Amino acid sequence: MSEINVNGFSGANNVKDEERFYSKTGIAEPRIILNADVDLTNHLSIRKGKTLFITLAGAHSLWAGNNCMLCVANGILYRNIQGHAVNIGAVAGPKHPFSYIDVDDKVYISNSYWQGVFDPATNSVLPWGVPQPPGAMLLLGNGNLPAGTYHVCMTNVVNGELSGNGAISQIELAVEGGIQILNRPAGALVWVTDSDEYLFYLVGAVDTIVDLPTVEPLPSFLCSPPPYLENLCYAFGRIWGSDGSDLLYSLPFKFGWFKVTSNKFSFDSIITLIAKVPTGLFVGMEDRTRFLAGTEPEKMVQTDAGAGSIKNTLAYCNNMPELGWTLGTPEKDFTDVPVWLTSEGIVVGNPSGKFFNITKNKIKMSIPNQGASLYRNLEGKIQFLTSFRKGSIGSSAGFSDADTDDAFKNGAIPTNNKNPEGTDNKVGFADIATCKVFRGGVEI
């Protein structure tokens, strides 16, 4: 009787051409592993399956952060609390994936049609940034301003947060006098330049300017709330996001202040990913990925990083010592490591500005136009999970290998000897086989 000794398992490999069973002595390398996991010690364990968490028809854009779990269904933002979906409020626009980030105990949410800031403490959604007031309507008045040309603008204040300035108005004083503001909104602040100058200084919440202002400059000059952004990322004290082919960023620690005409990087393709590492940002597009080296936008240097990135497949993984082997570095633990799907496989982003393919020559997959990913610690097992449909339309499971595709689609590994085209590609046993399982050298 022949014996097949299996001392452990490696991950699946549906790329290999030859039907070898072992990756090395005693370590089996199956073509397909279905509903099971292989750990770093080569142990194979069955998955426990899935459990219904919440019944919510049409749910999408599920996200979990430091303080809450959110999703959207049928135009409503929900917070998931202990298995119950709590209605937070309506979101505008058609069904479209949302992007979320945690910053300072708030959750910033956006897609191409809607944006807001969720406060977990109050279960409420706040506006992202403060809208600008209109341009000031000016008249000559009485006062002590020297003759000259003055520029005036206003800012709104909501809950202590200052807006960017509204349109700038100009007025000429031929002789000493003052300036009246006819349309100041309630609570709005007035800012004015010195005579024939261009720096704005605070006057206050007043309707008439009679004297030269204080020396407090306008900090939000030319700022506005962001446009509807995708691929949100919090890095280096700023919120970053994409608007088509533009990468925009906020002022440092002022997340409602964006200078949309100047504070941006423009690319020639639609941005599909923004991923942070301590030394810079990966910016993915369908056909390639770039790396912006540096932590200050004006000093960042662009380099090529690799293949195109698949939208919505990014997850940050923690406590993954095996990444040290992949990256060839001496560290034992890694935190906030970006992992995502590219057109060439699943990759790990590295502070060097390159990424490392961890499925190359192992898993053959189709290339989708978007997917979904998460990182989790399941009973001590660190896992990165990703899911997507095959091709740009999303027609079936995401494997280009027919056997693997069929197994995942049908939920079972076929045991027949022929595939549908009639070509022999599997082995069947007619004899009775006996299996002995040993653990630690002891038969169990």
Predicted local confidence at residue 196, as pLDDT: 85
Name the token pair of 89: 């409020």
Helices (H) and strands (E) in the chain, counts: 2, 39
Predicted local confidence at residue 319, as pLDDT: 64
- Report the distance separating Cα 103 and Cα 109, nearest Å: 11
Name the token pair of 309: 């990135």
Domain boundaries, the chain: 138-209, 317-410
- Report the distance separating Cα 351 and Cα 318, nearest Å: 15
The CB density around residue 63, as the number of other CB atoms within 10 Å, is: 18
DSSP state of 133: P
Angle, CA 251 vertex, CA 249 and CA 254 arms, to 5°: 115
Helix (H) or strand (E) holding 84: strand 84-90
- Report the distance separating Cα 117 and Cα 91, nearest Å: 12
Phi, psi of 360 (to 5 degrees): -60, 135
3-state secondary structure of 403: helix
Which residue has tokens 């298995």?
A: 83
Question: For the chain (length 444 residues), average pLDDT per consecutive 10?
Answer: 73 72 74 83 83 91 94 98 95 97 97 98 97 98 95 96 98 97 98 93 97 91 98 98 99 98 97 97 97 98 96 87 56 78 92 90 83 86 82 49 74 62 45 64 73
Q: What one-character-per-residue DSSP string does 18-45 give? A: S---EEETTEE--S---SEEE-TT--EE
Name the token pair of 311: 């939208």
Phi, psi of 163 (to 5 degrees): -85, 175
**What predicted TM-score, i.e. pTM, was given to this entire model?**
0.86
Name the token pair of 379: 């009973």
Q: What one-character-per-residue DSSP string does 238-258 give? A: EEEEEETTEEEEEETTEEEEE
Answer yes or no: are the C-beta atoms of 133 and 155 closer than 8 Å.
yes
What does the pLDDT look like over 178-236, one tens digit per residue? 999 999 999 999 999 999 888 999 999 999 999 987 789 999 999 999 999 999 999 99
Name the token pair of 399: 């494997």
- Beta-strand ranges (E) seen in 244-393 are 246-251, 254-258, 264-266, 271-277, 280-285, 289-293, 301-306, 315-317, 337-342, 345-349, 355-357, 372-378, 381-387
- Report the distance separating Cα 140 and Cα 57, nearest Å: 61
